[in-house]
Amino acid sequence: MLEKLWEGVVLLPCLKEINLWGSSNLKVIPDLSKATNLERLYLGLCSSLLELSSSVRDLKKLRVLLMNLCVKVETIPAGIYLNSLVHLDLEGCSRFKTFPEIAEQDLTHTNLKSEKLREVVHKVCSCSKL
């Protein structure tokens, strides 16, 4: 019954992957601002997750963000650095209302199976590869 990982800021400079796939009771993501080399964040099926931590905006090396079926999440924090992102999966994130602007980049794989989600993302996205 994992609801949270830790409180406060933890130094994690060598961490490259966090896999919380299927943690259905997880409600919050801890401060990841010191996980400066994090490349992959797997949050799929975290059905109780309420929001993506604003500290995610500091993950300049994040390449993979999988949040499929995170049904309670409504937004990705503004100011998030998405330029290194190549794989984004938001399938089943039907409550999304806002999405940060995405500039042209190397995003090569997306999963946006919700029509509402596609509309929200395409309004702010100049990335022709979506």
Residues 69-120 pLDDT 10s = 999 998 888 777 777 888 888 888 888 776 666 554 556 666 666 555 555 5
Report the residue count for the chain. 130
Question: Alpha helices of 9-114 — where are they, by DSSP H?
Answer: none
Residues 33-75 pLDDT 10s = 999 999 999 999 999 999 888 898 889 999 999 999 999 998 8
| Domain ranges for the chain | 1-130
**β strands within 61-130, DSSP E:** 64-66, 87-89, 109-111
1-130: CATH, from 3.80.10.10, 2.60.40.60, 1.10.760.10, 3.20.20.150: 3.80.10.10
**pTM reported for the whole predicted model:** 0.83
Asked whether 126 and 104 are in contact (CB, 8 A), the reply is yes
